[in-house]
Structure 1
Amino acid sequence: MTDPTPLGRHDSWEGVRAVVAGFGVSGFAAADNLTHLGASVTALDESADGKEERAELLEVLGASIRLGEGATATLPDDVDVLVTSPGWRPSAPLLAQARARGVPVWGEVELAWRLRDPDHGTPWLCVTGTNGKTTTVQMLDGILRAAGLRSAAVGNVGLPIVEAVMDPTPYDVLAVELSSFQLHYTDSMSAESAAVLNLAEDHLDWYDGLGPDPMTAYAADKGRIYERVQGACVYNVADPATEALVREADVVEGARAVGFTLGMPTIGMLGVVEDLLVDRAFVEERATSAAELCSVSDLSSPAPHNVQNALAAAALARAHGIAPAAVRDGLRAFRPDGHRIAVVATHDGITWVDDSKATNPHAAQSSLQAYDDVVWVAGGLAKGARFDTLVEAVRDRLRGVVLLGRDRDVVAAALSRHAPDVPVIDVGGGETGGEQAPMERVVDAAARLARPGDTVLLAPGCASMDLFASYAARGDAFAAAVRARIG
């Protein structure tokens, strides 16, 4: 057996027998680069859909690719390391077999960290949290680019991290989005600075059985991002659980805790003064003054969660030494991806908003709190989450609710407990509704509830895959139904 633990990008991996579990984008990147380094690679995936061309390419290079039903049932003999895709639960048979044999199990992030170029030491600025990760990382990448740095948004968004670290032209810095799944399989990463944006129930079905309490296990994985941080641990003042993770982390001596807040910042924080985002953490005179970064009007949306994302991105950039002017320029230029609080139309005094990316209750609550009078469109796959806290927080804003999807009853139960007077229309879970598609029934129902001045908000609080291919497909269907109705 060959021990791969001490090996890096400048070592020969000849003789290392690596298995890559999952042959999606990150799995292909891992298999490709391990093959390039000289390892003997076997990649496994239960699905062959869309993977045949990549499989053929790697087979030409000498890798063994097994796709299709049953391909992941049994771990091959004589394996030195298993690199798993992040969605695989630890209880998956392949991973359980690896642990039983004492085979190291790495995620793609762990592999990427080990393959960094020691001659350049490109720093990682890392972001996790239940919601806002992608937006924050893209904001951060924009700021870094505005400062003239060669940066990339990588990880759970953009490039696979292995591809970025193996690029022949080194990056100056990487903006790294990390999910709890990715962090679960990461053991040695030492980010320059890292942020946990928030913590709320999500993916608890994935963590079921991994400890006495799935939420505790989920939070612990999020907290792994702070381990061995060198510069700044950025946390959300409004979410004490994020600060608790900082306190529990084993960081490099000299690392600082830096909070961000929508209120007036104290020393060592970033925050908001009137309509300005300001820094009282990374300025010498922070005891008596603050550095102005930008105004709220410079951002793509003044929604509170969007301002929080901007503050977190600014904190990580400032920790890296980025000047306030570049923070301002990067945030001014940023535009979010689709299906994030995107106005579809305004008609007869009613505004229709697509926030299909709000796939858990915390994200939906953040979205709902940006509007005063709302017809809320909710439902889908709840992933084990509950909606009581959300409904209690927003019930006074609700003009009405339209429910769809498999787990709509979970939302309905929370509404009946905490907002029994709010009108609810249930359009079903995808069963036939005459000639109307589900989202057409949703839009017709919402139009019956809405009044001039209201916002009809698609912020489902649930995943989409019961009725739609993705959250993007769900948002597209909503937008199409709105446009069809208003002409």
Structure 2
Amino acid sequence: MGSGQVTSSVPSGTSEFQGKHVTVAGLGVSGLPAAKALHARGAIVTAVNDGDDARAREQAAELEALGITVRLGDGATLPEGTELIVTAPGWQPGKPLFRAAEQAGVPVWGDVELAWRLRGPDAAPWLAVTGTNGKTTTVQMLASILKAAGLRTAAVGNIGVSVLDAVLGDEQYDVLAVELSSYQLHWAPSLRAYSGAVLNLAPDHLDWHGSMDAYAADKGRIYEGNKIACVYNVADPRTEDLVREADVEEGCRAVGFTLQAPAVSQLGVVDGILVDRAFVENRQKNAQELAEVSDVDPPAPHNIANALAAAALARSFGVPAQAVRDGLRAFKPDAHRIAHVADVDGVAYVDDSKATNTHAAEASLAAYEPIVWIAGGLAKGAEFDELVANSAKRLRGVVLIGADRALIREALARHAPEVPVVDLDRTDTGAMLQAVTEAKRLARPGDTVLLAPACASMDMFTNYNQRGDAFAAAVRELGA
């Protein structure tokens, strides 16, 4: 873990942007506030967008009313005179617009980078979280803990609330809990968090990043310039490797979290208690009790890991142990994240529709036994051998749905040939009721029927929320 002095970012104000030609790439959640903020600071803004649908035209009209130029259906051409691009996080680095910018020597920022540069001199520090899975839950837990400590805070970033809106709004914060995706981190070169955490790393969005190494490197940007703590997952050595590679402020420490008894400078679990051996006096000999495992909802292993990561970030900010306990007790998970729907005839039905990749599904499967697993959807290039091999012993049966279910079926044939599989050859939304009915037939009292698809939902549903709602509705119909 390197050490270096981090310079402060450019303060808020008009001078940096007055008269500057800035292109905002992409409308939507991040593009709209970015264009408005830059225009308000005197920039000459052109907004470009690939799409030209009704929603884009509505947003374009809103910007044009302010005097901002908008080009719909043309996100590839670099507007003449552009001195800076501020991009929506999802735009891929290989797009023609960015290649043209690189050739012209034009820098590219994301909305997070813009927010970081626009925050005022007395701005709230950021406690930042990234990882393949668990980001949103961890950031929400962190915000709950910070609020329990009496701090003014909000959960922002890749969580629905724009960082830019939080930074430029009227509300005053003591500290922000910030969720950052690999896309956002890629476009945020000067971000320097107070403390940062990488929860885990598994192959995801490799089509965007180009390789696992590039994906990991972008995740690792969250540690650059950390002031107090770089929080890593002891069970995932790659996260600790990223800490070692980071250039941080003098005195910043590596702090691990583990589901085992913690070593020095770690948070972990001892006899059902979450304990801290990182932010205590004489950590060689002492540990601080923070909360009980039963204070975490739900107390699945990966969710306890989320709670430990949130606790580590909060403790790095000086939050007392009691606030960790109170914040975890107050936290309620979002829908479709290991949500217990109902018990029917002695069988538990659990909705983890948010498990849209293999890493998330494996964590969900690890929380129950025996399981009738409902899986399938859009694989997004994923392979399922490792997931199935690691989870085979927990499976009572499997019901497969969705466009790419054959990939999971083939992995089951290789690694769990004795497990009964029902392959539903349909992708209409009504398939979920049939899937739940088949799962009920396979299950025995004491089992869990678990929707943890390991795939995206867009082949059959609008999003994972609709998929989870369909599952819950089917379970209710089953028990009626």
Alignment TM-score, normalising by the size of structure 2: 0.95
2:177: which partner in 1?
A: 175
Which among 434, 451, 454 is matched to residue 441 of structure 1?
A: 434
Whole-Å separation in 2 of the counterparts to 1:428 and 1:82? 46
1:451: which partner in 2?
A: 444
Q: Secondary structure at the match of 1:25?
A: coil
Does residue 310 of the first structure (1) align with residue 314 of the second (2)?
no
2:44: which partner in 1?
A: 40
2:97: which partner in 1?
A: 94
Displacement of 1:135 after TM fit?
Answer: 0.2
1:151: which partner in 2?
A: 153
Asked if the contact 1:203–1:384 (Cα under 8 Å) also holds between the matched residues in 2, the reply is no
Q: What is the letter of the counterpart of residue 95 of structure 1?
A: F
Whole-Å separation in 2 of the counterparts to 1:204 and 1:424? 30
Asked if the contact 1:202–1:384 (Cα under 8 Å) also holds between the matched residues in 2, the reply is no
2:377: which partner in 1?
A: 380
Whole-Å separation in 2 of the counterparts to 1:74 and 1:428? 43
Whole-Å separation in 1 of the counterparts to 2:208 and 2:260? 35
2:462: which partner in 1?
A: 469
Does residue 299 of the first structure (1) align with residue 300 of the second (2)?
no
Which among 41, 46, 61 is matched to residue 56 of structure 1?
A: 61
Q: Deviations over 1:403-458 (max 9, x none)?
A: 1112212212221111111111111351x6xxx81212211221221111111100
Query: 1:277-356 counterparts in 2 under 5 A?
Result: 277-356=274-353
Displacement of 1:315 after TM fit?
Answer: 0.2
Whole-Å separation in 2 of the counterparts to 1:11 and 1:304? 48
Whole-Å separation in 2 of the counterparts to 1:383 and 1:230? 37
Does residue 359 of the first structure (1) align with residue 352 of the second (2)?
no
Runs of at least 5 residues in structure 2 that lack an aligned partner in the other structure? 1-7
Q: Which moved more, 1:446-455 or 1:268-277?
A: 446-455
Asked if the contact 1:55–1:65 (Cα under 8 Å) also holds between the matched residues in 2, the reply is yes
Whole-Å separation in 2 of the counterparts to 1:55 and 1:279? 50
Asked if the contact 2:9–2:116 (Cα under 8 Å) also holds between the matched residues in 1, the reply is no
Q: What is the letter of the counterpart of residue 152 of structure 1?
A: A
Q: Deviations over 1:7-40 (max 9, x none)?
A: 5422332211111111111111111111111111
Whole-Å separation in 2 of the counterparts to 1:407 and 1:149? 46
1:163: which partner in 2?
A: 165
Q: Which moved more, 1:228-237 or 1:166-175?
A: 166-175
Alignment TM-score, normalising by the size of structure 1: 0.94
2:133: which partner in 1?
A: 131
> Pairwise CA RMSD of aligned residues?
1.6
Displacement of 1:121 after TM fit?
Answer: 3.4
Structure 1 residues 391 and 113: CA distance shift in structure 2, 3 A: same
2:23: which partner in 1?
A: 19
Q: Secondary structure at the match of 2:467?
A: helix
Which among 225, 229, 234 is matched to residue 228 of structure 1?
A: 225
Which among 399, 411, 414 is matched to residue 411 of structure 2?
A: 414
Q: Deviations over 1:183-223 (max 9, x none)?
A: 1111011110000001111122223xx3xxx1111111111
Q: Secondary structure at the match of 1:50?
A: helix
Q: Secondary structure at the match of 1:352?
A: strand
Q: Deviations over 1:55-98 (max 9, x none)?
A: 3332222212233xx32132211101111111111112222222
Q: Secondary structure at the match of 2:213?
A: helix
Asked if the contact 1:408–1:429 (Cα under 8 Å) also holds between the matched residues in 2, the reply is no
Which among 79, 84, 108 is matched to residue 105 of structure 1?
A: 108
Q: Deviations over 1:321-373 (max 9, x none)?
A: 11111111111100000000011111111111100000110100110010010
Structure 1 residues 7 and 227: CA distance shift in structure 2, 3 A: closer
2:4: which partner in 1?
A: none
Whole-Å separation in 1 of the counterparts to 2:54 and 2:399? 35
1:260: which partner in 2?
A: 257
